[in-house]
Structure 1
Amino acid sequence: MKTSESITELTKALAQFQANVKQPEKDGTNPHFRSKYVTLDGTVKAICECAPNHGLSYTQMPISKENGIGVVTVIFHNSGQFIEFDPFILPLDKKTAQGVGSALTYAKRYSLSAAFGIVSDEDDDGNESSGNTNNKNQIASDKQLDLIKNLIIKTANSTGSTEERVHQSLKKHIKKDLEYYSPEDANKAIQLLNQYSKKGA
């Protein structure tokens, strides 16, 4: 993370913003798992309705790396102070225009929500992370999916393989694409990837 020499005014303004922002409605629905989330449009709208009142603005710059695509989010204050957050990178499941667009939208939403403290996903009181859920129609949490994507990169590096090959190997066991994982699928994938990494270490 990079910042201006001082961020005192910015952090005060951000605290005021978080105290006054109206958390957006979860206006997006995953039709496969009936889970709801805040869309990128909803996130941007909530921020833009409140941030200017506190001298805050932001920009997001798309970046491309060997291991995927993502964004860098920067928050500005009218004093000239800024915070530039670390890049948020997602591996590409499908190297198509649609796949890139989908990954970039997700990265923008996730990074922007985290930077401004917007609640963008459903809270299940920790049931997903603990595996304590009986609803198989739920989708894996963002934390689980991010961990899996990072483990895919780690496994590819430790085994001398490619991310695509690791992903395809995982798909043979889970029988579905990453975006459709249930919490149970995600836990199984994490266990498998940890096993792969140990074998390649």
Structure 2
Amino acid sequence: MRKSDSIKQIGSALAKFNGEITSIAKDAENPQFKSEYVTLDALIEATRPILQANGLSILQFPLTREDGQIGVQTVLLHDSGEFIESEPLYMLPTRIAKGGGYEIAKDPQAAGSVISYLRRYSYQAILNLNTGEDDDANKATKGQEKEPVRGIAIKEEISMSPEAAGAVVIPFGNKHRGETLKQVYKTDKSYFDWLSEKSKDPMIKKACDIIVEAVKSNQIENSK
């Protein structure tokens, strides 16, 4: 994560924003899992007036890698010139192959679905928005199989650094909502383990895996 030398004003503005924003109503349904989620359009519509009132704005940039992964980078800006820039999040667009398993999807619709999913997740995370746990990632892979297979496939395709994984903010629940995964790992390991095993959010699950491996290799400090 990159940030301006000072984040005093942007931090104060973000605190005011979070004090004014309310829980955002889910406006779309995932028919495969019979669950509801908040679309990117709804997130922007609900937050833009409050962001502007506090001198805040968000920029999001699509990124690509040579191996076909598509990513999004999100920047939170303040009218003082201060900023907070997230680590890029990447995902490989896939679809179910004719012979079974998954294959890389190269059509524009698949790329658009990945970008929309990553934009939505990054938007929620950088603003610490409460929208409930999200399991709508099947759009990014056009998956039609049962959730365990699809979830594992997506989890393996998400790429982020240990620092980015540790900085992922939990956007749901009551006990630890708004805390980073690194904080939860150090203060409530049992809940961290539950997230790693039971969370329906593929980004959370993958970030947990990265943190565990980083601790084993001493890339992240394992102390409270």
Asked whether the equivalents of residues 7 and 82 of structure 1 are also in contact (C-alpha less than 8 Å), the reply is yes
**Corresponding position of 1:28:** 28
**Corresponding position of 1:11:** 11
Q: Deviations over 1:147-188 (max 9, x none)?
A: 33249xxxxxxxxxxxxxxxxxxxxxxxxxxxxxx989x8xx
Larger Rg: 1
Give aligned pairs, total: 141
**Corresponding position of 1:79:** 80
**Shift of residue 91, structure 1, vs aligned partner:** 1.2
Q: 1:9 to 1:25 in 2, by over 3 A?
A: same
Give the structure with the higher percent helix. 1
For 1:148, which of 140, 156, 169 is the aligned residue? 156
TM-score, with normalisation over the residues of structure 2? 0.56
**Corresponding position of 1:117:** 128
Which 4+ stretches in 1 moved above 4 angstroms? 143-146
**Corresponding position of 1:96:** 107
Match of 1:33, SS state, is: coil
- Counterpart code for 1:105: S
**Corresponding position of 2:188:** none
Q: Deviations over 1:60-97 (max 9, x none)?
A: 01111134101110011111100111101111111111
**Shift of residue 119, structure 1, vs aligned partner:** 2.5
Q: 1:30 to 1:123 in 2, by over 3 A?
A: closer
- Gap runs ≥5 in structure 2: 95-104, 136-145, 160-197, 207-224
Match of 1:6, SS state, is: coil
TM-score, with normalisation over the residues of structure 1? 0.62
**Shift of residue 108, structure 1, vs aligned partner:** 0.5
Counterparts of 2:53 and 2:158 in 1: how far apart (Å)? Answer: 37
Counterparts of 2:134 and 2:63 in 1: how far apart (Å)? Answer: 30
Q: 1:87 to 1:27 in 2, by over 3 A?
A: same
